[in-house]
Structure 1
Amino acid sequence: MAVTMRDVAERAGVSAITVSRVINGTGYVHEETQARVLAAIEAMRYVPNSLARSLRSQQTSTLALLVTDITNSFWTTVARGVEDEAAAQNYAIFLCNTDEDPAKEDRYLEMLTQRRVDGLLIGPTPDSASMLSRLHTLDIKFVLIDRAVDGIAADTVRSDSRGGAANITQHMLTTGHQRVAFIGGPLTTSTGRDRLNGYRAAHMAAGLAIDTELIKIGSYHRESGRELTSELLAAERRPTAIFAGNNQIALGVLDALVAARMHLPNDMAVISFDDLPGVDGYGPFMTAVIQPAYQIGRIATRLLLERIADARDEVEEIVLPTQLVIRRSCGCNAVPVV
């Protein structure tokens, strides 16, 4: 038979209310009495009924993080920031991978509402607007990560995609490249639009016309990067550099260059939005725009917990700066890496 709070109270010689106060950290309990209660809990291996407590408080001390691609190192770093901040506030995390699929996102939402999570941290898919509207209707607290969604007023934490894309494109243009291709993600996402707009802004600032044949739009997946790079390589006038809209696209770019037996950066310079882990012992080699992914995760979790506690009324958007890290892949230090 499971040990109850009353059993612990009887062993410690106190009331059940006193045991409850010790467990929940509420009210004053004399140190000696607290020590007796804790000793009884340990001796009897009592496990508090968290479900009963959550039913009384209407909270479960759980949050959910919905990411679009758990294999992407950006999202794993965001998840670490979320978990660290949540753990510091005694919250647990459900991690859900949507694969940019609205139907999968909807299924997760149904499951999470049934589990009565206290709030959601969401990396939205390209078609999340209706789902987010439902969350508003249900009065479920949430914070958006990485992407804003048109028509949805919500706390959002993201990096400066437009500024980061403009900076890295400008770097390539100032080093002599005049045919820089761009392979981006869906324009139905704010990141897809912002990074393309940053690429365009850098060309306009340099007084260069934009060749639309150098712009390829697909998905934020490796396969898309490989296919669209192959299209660029098959063109009559190839680019001299390729800007990948995220690190998964960048991996696909590298796949296509290897298949074409082209060397990086001598045959083709490559740059990326988001860092790329070292590959096969080369170490970090990709010139990239680095997002503060860990900080994004922690700040977003902090905002969500404030929203759950009704500590804020106004919607807040936090845009964090990116960092341009110059390595070998752009050709500034022309050492072949592929």
Structure 2
Amino acid sequence: MATMKQVAQRAGVSVSSVSHVLNRTRYVSEDVKTRIEDAMRELAYVPSAVARSLKHNVTRTLGIMLPNNSNPYFAELIRSIEDRCYSAGYNVVLCNSDDDPVKQSVYLRVLMEKRVDGLIVMSSGDSPDLPGLLATLKVPLVLVDRQWKSLECDTVTTDHRMGAYLATRHLIELGHRHIACISGPEHLAPSRLRIAGWREALTEAGLADDTLLLGDFTSQGGHDVTCHLLQASNRPHAIFACNDLMAIGALCAAHKAGLSVPDDLSVVGFDDIELAAFMSPPLTTVAQPKQLIGEVATELLFERLHHDRTAPCKIALQPELLVRASSAPPRSV
């Protein structure tokens, strides 16, 4: 691999002149600049990003921690963040914690060793150690999707409770009276908030909220829980699944049980992953504004990187109910 010294020798200039051209730190005549650029091309010279970052204390690299890269919701959210970072000239390092708080802490330290300029974190659960760890990281930070009251930093979330309320109210307005909820893990704040929204809508309508089953935000989990629900003597005629992957599992379980969706069972999900619109039937779901979440989170981080702002900015974006073919009035209505 060619060195800066070899480039200087090929161009017939000093090493400092090559450095000034690379870093734009001093005026260099057009003739000298052209000779240096020609020499770099001829030698296939690649500047050392590490050396440049040490000199300027900036790596143009951002770290992103996500809890589960097998969940399409996070993959689609990351795409929005990456697009915005790329257009701004930043590289991105992704770390997947697999919803493991220990792995998450290890990866956060790895990201700091890589000298990232800032972090966007989608945390794995409510680890009691995480706020303290994040507070010690001396880089700009934005939390997405999950937040802690004890940590003062920029956050971008969706109104999970309102989204679940909209989904449940939709089923109630269709005429359903026995609406089961398949939640995500209880230790995750979005799960608890979506359960609260489901309960709020039922309470408002004077209905019981006694059919709550814990899922794990996977299609397999949604399938298994729905199979259990459909075997009950008083099976529900509508299911609100707290994410689309579990709703897709519920559709599969209904099909295996010989039930027609939505004639025998209405199903509503949460997230609006791309696959939701292409299910059979297309899935009614609560859309999180993934593109906007990614853009807002990235802009908040850029603001921290390039401007002085002390007060934390906490943004809650509004979800939207997308009615498709998986929900309909019960046959008895």
**TM-score, normalised on structure 1?**
0.89
User: For 1:258-286, what per-residue CA distance to the aligned partner results, in whole angstroms no more than 9, with x for missing partners?
Assistant: 33222211111000001254489757700
Partner of residue 118, structure 1: 117
Whole-angstrom CA distance in 2 between matches of 1:279 and 1:172:
18
Give the letter aligned to residue 38 of structure 2: A
Question: SS at 1:164's partner residue?
Answer: helix
Cα distance, 1:150 vs structure 2:
3.9
Partner of residue 208, structure 1: 206
Question: SS at 1:270's partner residue?
Answer: strand
Contact in 1 for aligned 2:183/2:213 (Cα 8 Å)? yes
User: For 1:104-147, what per-residue CA distance to the aligned partner results, in whole angstroms no more than 9, with x for missing partners?
Assistant: 21232232232222222111111334123112123243211111
Unmatched tracts of structure 2, length 5 or more: none
Residue 181 (structure 1) aligned with residue 173 (structure 2): no
* Structural mapping, 1:123-202, within 5 Å: 123-202=122-201
Whole-angstrom CA distance in 2 between matches of 1:314 and 1:77:
29
Greater mean alpha carbon deviation, residues 324-333 or residues 89-98: 324-333
Whole-angstrom CA distance in 2 between matches of 1:151 and 1:193:
18
Whole-angstrom CA distance in 2 between matches of 1:72 and 1:235:
29
Give the letter aligned to residue 268 of structure 1: L
CA gap 1:118/1:129 in 2 versus in 1, 3 angstroms: farther
Cα distance, 1:9 vs structure 2:
3.0
Contact in 1 for aligned 2:61/2:93 (Cα 8 Å)? yes
Count of residue pairs brought into register by the alignment: 331
* Structural mapping, 1:1-338, within 5 Å: 2-205=1-204, 207-212=205-210, 214-278=211-275, 285-309=282-306, 311-331=308-328
Question: SS at 1:328's partner residue?
Answer: coil
Unmatched tracts of structure 1, length 5 or more: none
Contact in 1 for aligned 2:126/2:189 (Cα 8 Å)? no
Question: SS at 1:329's partner residue?
Answer: coil
User: For 1:158-178, what per-residue CA distance to the aligned partner results, in whole angstroms no more than 9, with x for missing partners?
Assistant: 222122211121111111111
Contact in 2 for aligned 1:129/1:150 (Cα 8 Å)? no
Whole-angstrom CA distance in 2 between matches of 1:63 and 1:97:
14
Whole-angstrom CA distance in 1 between matches of 2:300 and 2:233:
50
Counting aligned pairs with the same residue, the percent is: 37
User: For 1:44-68, what per-residue CA distance to the aligned partner results, in whole angstroms no more than 9, with x for missing partners?
Assistant: 2111111111122233222222212
CA gap 1:272/1:172 in 2 versus in 1, 3 angstroms: same
Question: SS at 2:171's partner residue?
Answer: helix
Contact in 2 for aligned 1:287/1:326 (Cα 8 Å)? yes
Question: SS at 1:107's partner residue?
Answer: helix
